[in-house]
Chain A
Amino acid sequence: MITEAIHIEDLHYAYGDKPVLNGVNAIFPENKFSVLLGINGGGKSTLFKIIAGLLKGDQGSIRICGQEIDKLRFKDRASLIGFLPQFTQSVFSFTVEEILLTGRTAFSGFAPKKEDRLLVDKILKDLSITRLKDKPFTQLSGGEQQIVMIGRLLMQKPKILLLDEPTNHLDVYYQHYLMEKLKDYSENDFTVIAIMHNPTLAFQYADHFCYLHHGNIYTPSNPKEPNVELLEKVYSMSFVEFMREGKKFMLPFGEIH
């Protein structure tokens, strides 16, 4: 049996009188790389913000690793979930190290500990961005900033990585580099859940897919495999499926319905 990292039941949310989520039911399995697909403005980011505790759902329940989300303290949630929001800007030119250390604020109180600084070095090395350590965050490229922000999540040592468009701003090389990394994390005791806008890329790496459509989440009976029917319904356009070197690829095919 698959263990559940996140279990969502009958979740509703509305901005004013505009409903965004109408009774969402979904399960994200533990130690997998899950991807949530759906159109712009469909409520994916809203859902993630509710899971991360930035917004509160109107109705319904969410369990994270078996624990009811409303009963978790901020700090406890931070040790379960690391959330990468869609946009992070820094007004001040903090160095990369200083940005990473902010990830420990909930745990280290009023000053970073020595372990925290060692953890920074370890994570920078792990993401191969040690050279950026003392660089001002504001002077990095969009892609480098994104990688640094993912490093900041890892500083929390969470069980679940919740990523809102992690490949945003990245060039093709870094997109694949990051997806490879995320896949790696999911095989090493992390649960990775990401919103993606590129099904082609997502299907090459992730191993669990669900689709947000009209305020509901649809999980196909075989969530591992691309589901052309659902993709076409969600994006209102055609997709082609083809094999190359034993791998299945999925391409959007221009024909807009």
Chain B
Amino acid sequence: MNRKIANIICFGLPLPMLVISLFIGSSAQVNVFDYLPLLYKKLADGIMNVDEAAQYEMISNILFNVRMPRILLTFLVGAALSTSGGVLQGIFRNPLVDSYILGISSGAAFGASLAIVYSLSFVNVYAFVGGSIAVVLTYMIAGSHKQISTVSIILSGMIISGVFMALLTMVQYISNPYKLQAIVQWAMGNLHAASWIELKQAFLPILICLIIVFVYRWRINLLALGDDAAKSVGVNPAFDKLILIICATLMTTTTVAVAGIISFYGLFLPHIVRMLLGSDNSKSIPGNIFLGGSFLLLIDNLSRALFVFEVPIGIFTTILGGAFFVFLMRKNKLNWN
């Protein structure tokens, strides 16, 4: 594909996408053609009649207190998921993994659900602990000292993911009906409750991790060639891998704490970015950050605009991602022996 077009899609799309998304939603009153004249009036001469002022007030409220935090959160969540997917695929040398398949999301969801049921503060922290336990277990089951095969890491991830999903269901089972609804809604992967509060919780850990991964991006190329290839050129891969796995885990668990499980997104987005920009992580990591953000925004816009009711975004990405996973499995001709 043409490099120029690929770059525009990855790096030119985000800004217009953010602006357009402001004007998509269920509230019929908010319309760009109503808002702009009002805004112009306000800025140009500051004179408005009472009706106009009220309308302006309401539209501003919807735009900046309802939609803006949601849009920013969606972008951040998308960037976090696809970047952690890209990182994990690189360091596990496996095009079929992401934080959901390695069990991180389910572990985080279990941790967060406990925190919600027992009304503990710092849901973030519990999600991170749950996700970290899951990724460590997955790694241990797959066999950490030998070269980990593509299939064994997926199988052990699936097992861990299944166990934590069962634990999550158990938490739902014992919790009271009032909280149950909240947990079920949240676990499905949902962004509709996003407010400035959620954004404040999420943006710092995600931003810090994105910056660290961005700095490390070129080194992921070497890690993707394997431990021996790294050691033989004088790099101890253990340290780099530890930093990057912590970042991927923290980013994912933060998204789970605020938006629930959005599965498979981290699996397919890095592949799309690789098709557009190539495998070099110097380019694909920034691609994951920006296209990852704007593509999830696109999916979220569709989930708001296509139907009368809002489809939880986690369901949307699972359907898209499931099909893509099958496609990848066939393309990679997995050796099941």
Contact = CB atoms under 8 A, between A and B. Distances in A.
A110 B285 CA distance: 13
Interface stretch (B30-38, B222-230, B241-249, B314-322): B222-230
A247 B217 CA distance: 52
B231 A53 contact: yes
A106 B224 contact: no
Nearest to B284: A92
Contact of B229 (A49, A85, A95): A85
B11 interface: no
Interface residues of B, number: 28
B235 A105 contact: yes
Given A88-B225, A110-B216, A112-B218, A79 B280 contact: no
A168 to B, nearest CB: 15
B234 A94 contact: no
A250 interface: no
Nearest to A81: B232
A236 interface: no
B90 interface: yes
Contacts of A90: 224-225
A161 B85 CA distance: 36
A84 to B, nearest CB: 8
A101 B279 CA distance: 14
A36 B233 CA distance: 22
A136 B279 CA distance: 9
A77 interface: yes
Given A92-B274, A95-B280, A98-B279, A105 B224 contact: no
Contacts of B218: 101, 105, 110-112
A2 interface: no
Given A74-B235, A74-B236, A110-B216, A105 B222 contact: yes
Nearest to B236: A74
A219 B67 CA distance: 77
A54 B235 contact: no
Contacts of B234: 74-79, 105-107, 156
Given A102-B229, A111-B282, A91 B93 contact: yes
A34 to B, nearest CB: 18
B118 to A, nearest CB: 42
A9 B336 CA distance: 44
Interface in A146-194: 152, 155-156
Given A74-B231, A93-B279, A156-B233, A110 B224 contact: no
A82 interface: yes
B152 interface: no
B233 A103 contact: yes
Nearest to B231: A54
Interface string A24-58: 00000000000000000000000001001110000
Contacts of B231: 52-54, 74
A107 B222 CA distance: 13
A90 B222 CA distance: 10
A110 B215 contact: yes
B95, B221, B230: which has the most chain A beta carbons within 10 Å?
A: B221
B231 to A, nearest CB: 5
A52 B232 contact: yes
A83 interface: yes
A91 B94 contact: yes
Nearest to B216: A110
B304 interface: no
B233 A85 contact: no
Contacts of A111: 218, 282
A104 B94 CA distance: 23
B192 interface: no
Nearest to A53: B231
B226 A98 contact: no
A99 B226 CA distance: 12
Given A92-B95, A93-B278, A110-B219, 14 more contacts: A82-B233, A89-B226, A92-B274, A95-B280, A98-B280, A101-B218, A103-B233, A105-B221, A105-B230, A105-B233, A110-B215, A110-B217, A152-B233, A156-B233
Interface of B: 90, 93-95, 215-219, 221-222, 224-226, 228-236, 274, 278-280, 282
Task: List the 5 closest A-B pairs by CB distance, nearest first.
Answer: A78-B234, A106-B234, A83-B232, A92-B279, A102-B222
